[in-house]
Amino acid sequence: MDILSSFDLIIAAAVIVILSFWFNGISKKTNIPSVLMLIVLGVILQYVLKFFVSDIPDFAGSLEILGTVGLIMIVLEAALELELKREKLLPILKSMAVALIGLVASAWVAALIIYQFIPEMTMQSAWLYATPLSILSSAIIIPSVGGLAADKKEFHIYESTFSDIMGIMMFYFLAGGLDPAEDSGVTGFAGNIVLTIVVALVASYALILIFQRIKSQAKQFLLIAVLLLLYAVGKKMHLSSLIIILVFGLVIKNIKVFFPGKMDVFLENEKIHQIYHELHIITLETAFVIRTFFFVIFGLSIVLASLFSLKVALISILVIASIYAIRFVLLRVFVGKDILPQLFIAPRGLITVLLFYAIPAQAQIASFESGVLLFVIIATSLIMTWAMIKDKKKMGTLLDEIDQELLERNEAEDVLREHEEAKGHKETQGENTTDKINQESPKESDLDPDDQFQGH
């Protein structure tokens, strides 16, 4: 039987999507990231396939394509939820500072660790291997923080999105240093960012003005296709293309900010709202499907034996320890004492894998084991899971204490109310008795004159 026939692949794909939807439900109840379940599913499928086919296909090309499209959808999804308001300026700047400093500091320490433990490693290659390990995974964080307080949830959305964007820019800046033709230095890199922002704003204004006039109902995937085209063309021109996606999402979400005052006359508000609403739904759905297949295919392609290497475990543990040590210091400086569970919400995921496969051939070191990648991804995800579950229990205990306090207060109020009612009832009875006696006792004016005389 040909296990890889077209019908078998359709069945497998459909079952994977159904399981992924089920995993999301489990994740919401248990706080176990659905990504971990998808990776485990991929590993199980890897061993199942070995019984039916002699050689498992190479999925590296599929991972790169799915990862790139998934990255675009995830950043767009995050941008469509970010509101630009004056009161949000400070939280945005804080999360950006934590993301940037954490990224650079974590990559620097990880590069030193990798350089020390792998003899063939150069410092330039060590930075390229360390950068993917230092980027937060918005693909894991954004779906996982829905149950947190609003300010903490907002912080994680901003931080993970900035970490994704700045991490990718940093990686390609380092990779460009390997090629003298592409190495433009810090000044050229800053100019590249400014140029990308200008292109992103012009493209965003043009897309909104054009697409609000398109009458066809089937235009959302056309819009996504245009965004993918802009991303790919920007990459070809060596621009920081992810900024284009981020800026477009911010513009259409915060339309009043980017079309202030009299510029509002160019908008058809009802159609803009419809475009935003439909785009948000399609982006969520597309990101879900792409994320599903990316992590399952990643699970299919990993080599579990590499996890049992002592060197892999040692390098991974040191990298993980440095991640949380740096994060602790940054959160205490920028956030304060209330840093739980934020301290432990620092998983690595889709972008880590995507950039690992994008390391240029001239920088690749054969002795670097991919098990480090898998170890860090799984460990940081499990630590986040533990922290989220602990926080959920803490919140549950706190709510129980509040409920108990309210219950006791209500009971005390009920007792007091009953006491006051009983007291009032007694007073009422006393007044009624007095009235009755007064009514039954004859007044002096009602007595017979003879009786009054006798009384005197």
**Cα gap 162→95, rounded to integer Å:** 8
**Residue 406 — φ and ψ, nearest 5°?**
-65, -40
Q: What residues contact residue 390 under an 8 Å CB cut-off, 6+ apart?
A: 341
Topology (CATH) of 6-302+310-402 = Na+/H+ antiporter like fold (1.20.1530)
Q: Mean pLDDT, the chain, as a whole number?
A: 81
H helix and E strand count, the chain: 16, 0
- Between CA 222 and CA 232 the distance in angstroms is 15
What is the torsion angle, in degrees rounded to the nearest 10, for the CA atoms of residue 278, residue 282, residue 287 and residue 292? Answer: 140
Question: Of the spans 178-192, 309-323, 432-446, which averages the highest pLDDT?
Answer: 309-323
Q: Which residues lie below 8 Å from residue 279, measured CB to CB, with a gap of 6+?
A: 80, 220, 223, 224, 252
Alpha helices in 80-184 (DSSP H): 89-117, 123-133, 138-144, 150-176
Q: Which residue has the higher pLDDT, 136 or 186?
A: 136
Least confident of 48-62, 79-93, 425-439: 425-439
Do 339 and 328 meet the contact criterion of CB atoms below 8 Å apart? Answer: yes
For the chain, the structural domain boundaries read: 6-302+310-402
pLDDT value for 423: 64
CA 268, CA 358: separation in Å to the nearest integer? Answer: 42
Find where tokens 């982006």 sit.
Answer: 283
Tell me how far apart the alpha carbons of residues 20 and 297 are, in angstroms, rounded to a whole number. Answer: 13
* Residue with token string 């990255």: 71
Cβ-contact 118, 366 below 8 angstroms: no
Closest CA to 272 of 210, 222, 197, 226: 210
Tell me the pLDDT band of 456, cut-offs 50, 70 and 90: very low
pLDDT at 419: 67
Residue type at position 432: N
Residue appearing with tokens 């229990």? 393
Model confidence pLDDT, tens digit, residues 386-399: 888 888 776 555 44
pLDDT, tens only, 178-204: 765 555 566 777 787 888 889 999 999
What average pLDDT does this structure show over 394-415? 59
Six-digit token string for 316: 């991974």
* 249-299 pLDDT tens trace: 888 888 888 888 777 777 787 888 888 888 888 888 888 898 899 889 888
Q: What is the 3 state secondary structure string of 439-453?
A: HHCCCHHHCCHHHHH
Cα 399 from chain centre: 24
d(CA 387, CA 341): 6
Is residue 224 within 8 Å of 282, Cβ to Cβ?
yes
Give the position of tokens 């999925």: 59
Is the pLDDT at 404 greater than 60? The verdict is no
Closest C-alpha among 127, 79, 407 to residue 252: 79
The closest alpha carbon to 287, from 170, 95, 137, 145, belongs to 137
Q: Which of 145-149, 211-215, 402-406 has the lowest mean pLDDT?
A: 402-406
Question: Which of 112-121, 124-133, 173-182, 234-243 shows the lowest mean pLDDT across its residues?
Answer: 173-182
* H-assigned helices in 302-370: 310-334, 350-356
Cβ partners under 8 Å of residue 52, min gap 6: 1, 3
Confidence band of 154 (pLDDT split at 50, 70, 90)? confident
The Cα–Cα gap between 247 and 254 comes to 10
Residues 6+ apart with CB under 8 A from 23: 34, 37, 38
What mean pLDDT is predicted for residues 75-99?
84
Q: What is the pTM of this model?
A: 0.76
CB atoms within 10 A of CB 171: 24
The CA distances from residue 22 to 28, 29, 132, 296, 437, in Å, are 10, 11, 29, 14, 78
